[in-house]
Amino acid sequence: MDIQGIKQRFGIIGNSPGLIRAIEVAVQVAPTDLSVLVSGESGTGKEIFPQIIHQYSARKHGKYIAVNCGAIPEGTIDSELFGHEKGAFTGALSDRKGYFEEANGGTIFLDEVGELPLSTQVRLLRVLETGEFIKVGSSKVIKTNVRVIAATNLDIPKAIEENKFREDLYYRLNTVPIIVMPLRDRAEDILLLFRRFARDFAEKYRMPPLMLNEDARQAMVNYTWPGNVRQLKNITEQISIIEKERDISAEALEAYLPVVKGTNLPAILKSPQDKSFNSEREILYQVLFDMKRDMSDLKKLVLDLMQNGSEDQLSGDQAQIIRNLYRDEDEGFVAESKPAQSIHIDHMDKENIQDTEEFVEESLSLEEKEIELITKALEKHKGKRKYAAMDLGISERTLYRKIKEYNING
């Protein structure tokens, strides 16, 4: 399999493992007639892979029809896909062939298939299962021999839960899945794409190509690119036209990069079933934060009692907190035999309480924990950031940003 030749033929730029894997799957599935579902965020270039599949299949001499399902109004989508008879609805002045009839013997690409209405999904499922469909306003069954490739940027399993997409259609389309990685997960491809776009626009507008200094290159790689390759191309074109200087600095570049909301700090994932290393580490952070809050509340309670010098004001909840604090696994509650009003804390040393608080503050510092984990990972892998990032369960770009932020020698 000549991957490099395929990339050149279809204008694909990049060497990331995820991209190469997607190309390999497309070429391998091409000779079959299996349905394929291409998934990925908007702007990742999903439309290239149906073309690869069609050109490397036995149907390459047949028609290839690409349909943007999200751009066709719901009232006319059935007519567009399956055709209609004369008089089937207002404005149907003559018979019309649909895309499935036109593409007979070839391939039809249904882009944004998740936007199809449920009634149309039923018709599509019948075509996939039997190769038959009925025109709008007709009762005659028409046979078609067409390869269906679909693409979506939606979370289809979530759409199924919300009754917006048929589960049986999803499994019928998803016979062979192809995942197109977002640009933020293809860090090694970002600068390659920028150089290609900069060269193309330099030729188009007859001007010298753009060049990035070191800081600008790092800013380009660290940016999350929510619009993926499409956004990178548009921004490159903007800079090519607007900037007079051809040597672009990080400050000049950042003026074109929209601020992306969010953070790369650990956060609790919504799915409790996720048992990956990342989620367990994030849950640990949350537990530590809860412990810190509980200890702070306890400290305030104890100091308040010591400052007021009154033990008669202990509520039942406060007494229970004190009991829990002095729980002994072998002897039961130390204060079990004492009523709430007679619990004494005179023997507690204020300095010890202060020391305890200082220890909790230090050990539960998120920043220090991150520095400690990053330092240990770098030492373990002898400064090799790629393997340290894999060990930590974060991307290499995030690790680089953390090293720079915390000024870690790595």
Give tens-digit pLDDT for 292-321.
Answer: 777 777 777 766 666 665 545 555 655 555
Q: Are 226 and 260 in contact (CB under 8 A)?
A: yes
- Same-domain status, 90 and 11: yes
More reliable by pLDDT, 301 or 35 = 35
21 and 124 together in one domain: yes
Q: CATH number, domain at 191?
A: 1.10.8.60
Judgement on whether residues 177 and 188 belong to the same structural domain of the protein: no
Examine residue 269 and state whether it is found in any structural domain, yes or no: no
Sequence-ordered alpha helix ranges (H) in 255-276 = none
In a domain, 259, yes or no: no
- One domain for residues 211 and 101: no
Boundary-marking domain end, from 181, 209, 234: 181
pLDDT at 353: 45
Q: What is the pLDDT of residues 225-235, one digit of tens each?
A: 999 999 999 99
Q: Is residue 268 domain-resident?
A: no
pLDDT at 267 > cutoff 50: no
Residues 217 and 333 placed together within one structural domain of the fold: no
Mean pLDDT is lowest, of 126-135, 144-153, 191-200, 316-325, for 316-325
Asked whether the predicted pLDDT for residue 59 surpasses 60, the reply is yes
Of 181, 208, 239, which closes a domain? 181
Residue 359: pLDDT band (50, 70, 90) is very low
Considering the domain architecture, whether residues 233 and 371 belong to the same structural domain is answered as no
Q: For residue 361, what pLDDT band results from cuts at 50, 70 and 90? A: very low
pLDDT of residue 392: 81
pLDDT(260) > 70: no
Q: Are 201 and 281 part of one and the same domain? A: no
Q: Say which DSSP state 258 is in.
A: P
Residue 54 burial (CB count, 10 A) = 23
Q: Are 140 and 134 in contact (CB under 8 A)?
A: yes
Whether 85 and 162 map to the same domain: the answer is: yes
d(CA 384, CA 386): 6
Least confident segment among 81-95, 183-197, 291-305, 322-336: 322-336
- Region 308-335: mean pLDDT is 52
Question: Mean pLDDT of all residues in the chain?
Answer: 83
Residues 237 and 152 in one domain: no
CATH number where 370 lies: 1.10.10
pLDDT number for residue 153: 95
Find out whether 406 and 374 touch, Cβ atoms under 8 Å.
yes
Same structural domain, 289 and 306 = yes
Domain of 192 in residue numbering reads as 184-254
Q: What is the pLDDT of residue 330?
A: 41
Using an 8 Å Cβ cutoff, are 15 and 189 in contact? yes
Query: Is 260 within the bounds of a domain?
Result: no
The residue assigned the tokens 């994932």 is: 269
Structurally, how many domains does the chain consist of? 4
345 inside domain: yes
Could you tell me if 206 and 65 lie in one domain? no
352 occurs within a structural domain: yes
d(C-alpha 142, C-alpha 121), whole Å: 17
pLDDT digits (tens, 9 = 90+) for 202-241: 999 999 999 999 999 999 999 999 999 999 999 999 999 9
Residue 370 — pLDDT band, cuts 50, 70, 90? confident
| Residues 371-395: tens digit of each pLDDT | 888 888 888 888 888 888 888 878 8
Q: What is the pLDDT at residue 277?
A: 44
DSSP labels, 152-217: ESS-HHHHHHTTSS-HHHHHHHTTEEEEPPPGGG-HHHHHHHHHHHHHHHHHHHTSPPPEE-HHHH
pLDDT for the residue numbered 386: 82
Q: What is the pLDDT of residues 3-34, one digit of tens each?
A: 999 999 999 999 999 999 999 999 999 999 99
Position 137 in a domain: yes
How far apart (Å, rounded) are the C-alpha atoms in residues 70 and 77? 9
Mean pLDDT of 130-149: 95
Q: How confident is the model at residue 281 (pLDDT cuts 50, 70, 90)?
A: low
Half-sphere exposure of 265 (CA within 13 A, CB side): 11
The pLDDT of residue 409: 76
Report yes or no on 222 lying in a domain. Answer: yes
Q: Are residues 11 and 116 both part of a single domain?
A: yes
pLDDT computed for residue 272 by the predictor: 41
| 105 neighbors 65 (Cβ within 8 angstroms) | no
Q: Which residue has the higher pLDDT, 80 or 347?
A: 80
Choose the final residue of a domain: 139, 157, 181: 181
Residue 90 structure tokens = 């207002």
Which secondary-structure segment (H or E) carries 398?
A: helix 396-406
**Which has the closest alpha carbon to 192: 229, 155, 160, 237?**
229
Asked whether the predicted pLDDT for residue 66 surpasses 60, the reply is: yes
**Which is more confidently placed, 299 or 74?**
74
98-132 in b/e form (b: 16+ CB < 10 A) is: bbbbebbebbbbbbbbbbbeeebbebbbebbeeee
> Quick one: pLDDT at residue 62?
96
Report the pLDDT value the prediction gives residue 71, as an integer from 0 to 100. 94
Q: Please report, in angstroms and rounded to a whole number, the separation of the first and last CA atoms in the chain.
A: 40
